[in-house]
Amino acid sequence: MIKNPVPWPNGARCAAAITFDMDADSLIHLEHPKDSITRVSGISMLRYGPEVAVPRIVETYKHFGIKQTFFVPAWCIEQYPKAIETMLEGGHEVAHHGYIHENPTAAGREEEAYWLRRSIEIIERTTGQRPRGWRAPLYNFSNHSAELLAEEGFLYDASLMGDDVPYVLRTKNGDVIELPAHWGVDDWPQFVQSMDLDYMMPIKSAAAGLEVFKQEFDAMWEYGGLFVGVWHPFCTGRLARWMEVVKLIEHMLEKGGVWLAPMEEIAAHVKKCIDDGSYTPRIDRLPYYSERVSVMPLGGGGAKATE
């Protein structure tokens, strides 16, 4: 089913990463810049992430002896230093997720580069290392993102959805490894209801939501893919859901042959396999288009679906 599985370390069948995007209340300030600070209930829901969920998540990782990746907007790094300390004490990767969850597709190249660089500095100052990976806020990967990532020396991106296995984003500035995910492994469609964020889903039971992720993982295990959970502390770090996550990690470990690792290690392994010729990835040249794709009007009247 997968034409070119990666040779995973120690003969593992598949790789898996549980990634958390710790957006905290950056989302609400971005969505409602005029009156965000009056939306106390919404803010409290999102602060649950750094205040309550992150320590719980890191504790569970410690219990299982695993290291994982947190994508954190730089504004949240400054706002919630204790949560970041907890991640770093646990030995986890803190990766780039924008400054305040701004939208790169709505910015020009220069503006995107400015926030990218400003956040790199904050991450470097806090963690002692430049970030190796980036996930676009809300998957808003722009036509400039890949080039800018290559320019800034990023090893990997975690925003795109183009394959079941890692592949390469090729730009005129160099290559970036893509560690893909998709909406099916994101926790918002399963669990998030927020009028403040204009996102209203019928909330599933914790078990039903996690069942979706378990099926996605099992398929990757079967065929040698890469499972990447795109989760959020305020959402999947809630108690009942977290109990189900513990069961999912147990399921992964019981199945065996699973390489659970931080994204930077997965990307470094993929790069090594590409360099030594043991893995031939698919290559996407970005940007996909340099001009607008438009439909030519038919007979001067334009095309209509009913005609």
Residue 106 has a CB neighbour count (10 Å cut-off) of: 10
Tokens for 289, please give them. 């288009």
14/122 with CB nearer Zn ion: 122
Of the candidates 110, 131, 112, the residue with the CA atom closest to the CA atom of residue 120: 131
Considering the rule CB under 5 A, would residue 216 count as an interface residue with Zn ion?
A: no
Considering the rule CB under 5 A, would residue 21 count as an interface residue with Zn ion?
A: yes
Considering the rule CB under 5 A, would residue 23 count as an interface residue with Zn ion?
A: yes
| Calpha distance 70→35 (Å, rounded) | 28
Task: Give one word for 192, left, alpha or beta, with left for phi > 0 and alpha for psi -120 to 50.
Answer: beta
Q: How many residues bind Zn ion (CB under 5 A)?
A: 2
23/157 with CB nearer Zn ion: 23
| Calpha distance 227→2 (Å, rounded) | 13
| Calpha distance 40→297 (Å, rounded) | 50
Q: Tell me the closest approach of the beta carbon of residue 20 to Zn ion, in angstroms.
A: 10
Query: Which position's Cβ is nearest Zn ion?
Result: 21
Q: Tell me the closest approach of the beta carbon of residue 200 to Zn ion, in angstroms.
A: 18
Q: Tell me the closest approach of the beta carbon of residue 130 to Zn ion, in angstroms.
A: 20
41 class by beta-carbon count within 10 Å (0-12 exposed, 13-18 middle, 19+ buried): exposed
39/271 with CB nearer Zn ion: 39
Q: Tell me the closest approach of the beta carbon of residue 115 to Zn ion, in angstroms.
A: 14
Q: With CB under 5 A as the contact rule, which of the stretches 16-24, 47-55, 147-155, 211-219 interacts with Zn ion?
A: 16-24
Q: Tell me the closest approach of the beta carbon of residue 97 to Zn ion, in angstroms.
A: 6
Considering the rule CB under 5 A, would residue 186 count as an interface residue with Zn ion?
A: no
| Calpha distance 223→1 (Å, rounded) | 7
23/264 with CB nearer Zn ion: 23
* Interacting residues with Zn ion (CB under 5 A): 21, 23
